[in-house]
Amino acid sequence: MNLNKIFKNALLVALACLALSACAKKVGTGQMQGDVYTGTDTVEYLASGVPDRVFFATNESVLTTKSRETLRKQAAWLRKNSKINVVIEGHADERGTREYNLALGERRANAAKDYLMTYGISADRISVISYGKERPVDSGSNPLSWSKNRRSVTVKAN
Amino acid sequence: MLFRYLFIFFLIIPIKSFALIEVDINRGNLSPLPIAVSPLSLDKETKNNLKKFLEKEDVGAEISSVVENNLKKSGLFNPLSKDSFLQKPDIAHLKPRFEDWALIKAQALITGKVTFSDEKLRVEFRLWDVLAAKEMMALAFTTVPNNWRRVGHIITDKIYERLTGEKGYFDTRIIYVSEEGPKTKRIKKLAIMDQDGFNTKYLTLGNELVLTPRFNPTNQMVTYLSYFRNLPRVYLLDIETGIQEVVGDFPGMTFAPRFSPDGKKIIMSFAKDGNSDIYTMDLENRIVERITNHPSIDTSPSYSPDGKYICFNSDRSGYQQIYIMKSDGSNVKRISFGKGLYGTPVWSPRGDLIAFTKLHKGKFYIGVMRTNGKGERLLTENFYQEAPSWSPNGRVLIFYRETKTDDKGEGFSAKLWSIDLTGYNERLVSTETDASDPSWSSLLSN
């Protein structure tokens, strides 16, 4: 009887462990699609429902479907708040040479800027700055951390 | 921030031209030459007089330890322990008992003497071939006492040149970016130090992000990237006066600057609307010239030593590769065809090689290839390293390495490392703080 109870408890603990590890795994992969970050850990909001950043694949500056959706929300918010100007910061992960990453960050920031412009935001309201790999948000040295750092962030300038 | 390169030196005995001992620098450091560096002697009176100028008990011993340290770090020499020396420094300098030095297996011997008069330090040294029982070289220098470390570096350069047949790289400085603080909020300052890590001076305060400093050919000016007022632009800094100015009037980020070999131009990238191209600005007439015009990223330009060619980094093939072109931008040719991504090409001061960073399967390599892209050799592999810079004689590369952080994202560090062109003699270069983006000066004297 007693033994049976102990065994049952052990089984429960083992099951809980399994469930936890499975869960942890799910979070790990669930936050990336390909190698583009899809989580919300680092995201801040320009206004309710308007995320401030979009994420990129390694070495890429192509906007994903989700990024375009985010930028359309930013464009709508900018149209509503016509006195607000923004700076778009372009960033790269640490897995590249410093100088190339500066250029890549600039390319990413401009990809976001161009998209906002196609939704009617005037170029003089948007400036861009590249930080290359100089300002990571996540100091980790693993694919998930790197995916959070490959980003462009729209910041209020006034 | 002020330091003048005041230096007077006299040749007292002409260099004899026949080589006795020879050190082969192309073979790697498999059997470094055993060398005895006898402390430079100085008499009591000199010691007492010098104390007023230098807080040094025995500047002769200190100079010889500068020499010893340099020789050891080159990987080509094995300085022997002073405990085993039988002859006194002052007597050895006059007439070495070669049997004594042969007994401790020294093949070369350095002796010297320090005197002090008219507030000037006078240092003489001799290089001896122990087995042939002959003097190979004798020189003397006169300088201000504060320059004593440089005397040690110049002596090392003379010895290195006499024994290897090539110019040394010891009387040089490194300019780099000093780093402090957490990885997500690094504070960066321009710093300059002697090649052996001494005499560090900070040239900026850390109020704005600074990156990629590079010397001009005379080592008086530095070009670098600064985020002053949050506008990333290429700047020019006069080391002696501390005066800074922005280079050109570009409506966007300028970065990746370097001087042309004649020091008259700065070559750099200018990024606009998501496209980076290479430009030059003439420092005299301020004329800006566009060198590349391509929708891809073109960056990290570096001139050949004769100024006729430029190597650079471009992703026009889809990924980062190394290209060369004529200095007017014509005849663009891709030269890197190995597996992986290639960046930061830098032309060797000898003209025959291009050093680079390579990223392949998650590892970073520092390597060299010939200027036609053939003969690729990878010298070192690591988690993250990049940005090689050549010693002025083209024998050694200095670069920086960053560590992988742990599970909590902690434990980040950035350090300078050097490696011999042969792939041997990899060494940590000591710096007061964390460091990156090193750039080697040319020889300050000679």
Lowest mean pLDDT among A21-25, B176-180, B388-392: A21-25
Partners of B381 in beta bridges:
B365
Chain B positions in Cβ-Cβ contact with residue A98 (cut-off 8 Å):
211-212, 386-387, 436-437
Angstrom distance (rounded) from CA B335 to CA B322? 6
Q: Establish if A155 touches chain B: CB-CB under 8 angstroms.
A: no
**pLDDT score of B27:** 61
**Does B2 map to a domain?**
no
Token pair of B271, please? Answer: 């990024």
A98: nearest CB among B183, B212, B232: B212
**pLDDT score of A50:** 98
Q: Establish if B255 touches chain A: CB-CB under 8 angstroms.
A: yes
**For residue B290, what are the domain limits?**
173-440
Angstrom distance (rounded) from CA B298 to CA B79? 46
| Cβ contact, residue pair B409, A139, below 8 Å | yes
C-beta separation of B208 from B226 below 8 A = yes
| Strand A45-47 with A86-91, pairing | unpaired
Residues B391 and B429 in one domain: yes
**pLDDT score of B55:** 84
* CA neighbor of B60 nearest in space, from B40, B44, B43: B40
Residue A21 clears pLDDT 70, i.e. is over it? no
Amino acid identity at A47: A
Token pair of B380, please? Answer: 């070192």
* CA neighbor of B317 nearest in space, from B292, B337, B291, B344: B337
| Strand B33-37 with B77-79, pairing | parallel
Residue where a domain terminates, one of B127, B145, B164: B164
Residue where a domain terminates, one of B142, B164, B186: B164
ipTM topping 0.85: yes
Angstrom distance (rounded) from CA B317 to CA B296? 9
Segment B247-298, tens digit of pLDDT = 999 999 999 999 999 999 999 999 999 999 999 999 999 999 999 999 999 9
Angstrom distance (rounded) from CA B253 to CA B231? 7
Residues B106 and B240 in one domain: no
**pLDDT score of A25:** 37
Residues B280 and B135 in one domain: no
**Does B3 map to a domain?**
no
Strands (E), B247-340: 254-259, 265-272, 275-282, 288-290, 298-303, 309-314, 321-326, 333-334
Token pair of B200, please? Answer: 């560090």
Residues B147 and B193 in one domain: no
Residue B11 clears pLDDT 50, i.e. is over it? no
Segment B390-436, tens digit of pLDDT = 999 999 999 999 999 999 999 999 999 999 999 999 999 999 999 99
**Does B182 map to a domain?**
yes
**pLDDT score of A30:** 61
Q: Count of CB contacts below 8 A, A vs B?
A: 105
**pLDDT score of B334:** 98
Q: What is the dihedral of CA B22, B28, B33, B38, to 10 degrees?
A: 110
**pLDDT score of A7:** 52
Residues B238 and B359 in one domain: yes
Q: What is the dihedral of CA B379, B214, B253, B290, to 10 degrees?
A: -90
| Cβ contact, residue pair A103, B276, below 8 Å | yes
**pLDDT score of B50:** 87
**Does B33 map to a domain?**
yes
Residues B29 and B63 in one domain: yes
Residues B190 and B132 in one domain: no
Q: The domain spanning residue B83 has which CATH number? A: 3.40.50.10070
Lowest mean pLDDT among A115-124, B20-29, B305-314, B364-373: B20-29
Residues B152 and B178 in one domain: no
Angstrom distance (rounded) from CA A52 to CA A44? 6
Split at pLDDT 50, 70, 90, the class of B135 is very high
Residue B14 clears pLDDT 70, i.e. is over it? no
Mean of the per-residue pLDDT values for chain B?
93
Residue B15 clears pLDDT 80, i.e. is over it? no
Residues B160 and B177 in one domain: no
Residues B158 and B178 in one domain: no
* Residue B36 host element (H or E): strand B33-37
Token pair of B161, please? Answer: 């040149």
Q: The domain spanning residue B398 has which CATH number? A: 2.120.10.30
CB atoms within 10 A of CB B286: 10
Split at pLDDT 50, 70, 90, the class of B242 is very high
**pLDDT score of A155:** 98
Q: Establish if A129 touches chain B: CB-CB under 8 angstroms.
A: yes
B344: nearest CB among A97, A104, A129: A97
Lowest mean pLDDT among A71-80, B138-147, B177-186, B294-303: B138-147
Angstrom distance (rounded) from CA B122 to CA B290? 51
Residue A18 clears pLDDT 50, i.e. is over it? no
Residue where a domain terminates, one of B131, B164, B197: B164
Token pair of A150, please? Answer: 């490959």
**Does B207 map to a domain?**
yes
| Cβ contact, residue pair B274, A106, below 8 Å | yes
Residues B200 and B270 in one domain: yes
Q: Establish if A98 touches chain B: CB-CB under 8 angstroms.
A: yes
**Rounded to a whole number, what is the distance in Å from the CA of B408 to chain A's nearest CA?**
7
**pLDDT score of B446:** 56
**Does B427 map to a domain?**
yes
Residues B328 and B394 in one domain: yes
A103: nearest CB among B299, B384, B405: B299
Going from the C-alpha of B437 to that of each of B40, B175, B207, B379, B434, the distances in angstroms are 36, 8, 18, 18, 11
Angstrom distance (rounded) from CA B238 to CA A119? 46
**pLDDT score of A24:** 39
Segment B40-84, tens digit of pLDDT = 999 988 888 888 888 888 999 999 999 999 999 999 999 999 999
Residue A11 clears pLDDT 60, i.e. is over it? no
For chain B, the domain total comes to 2
Going from the C-alpha of B151 to that of each of A58, B7, B122, B325, the distances in angstroms are 50, 10, 10, 41
For tokens 């704005």, what's the residue? B208
What mean pLDDT is predicted for residues B81-109?
95
Rounded to the nearest angstrom, the gap between the alpha carbon of residue B332 and the centroid of all alpha carbons in its chain is 30
**Does B79 map to a domain?**
yes
Chain A nearest-CA residue for B268 = A99
pTM of this prediction? Answer: 0.91
**pLDDT score of B7:** 45
Rg (CA), chain A: 21
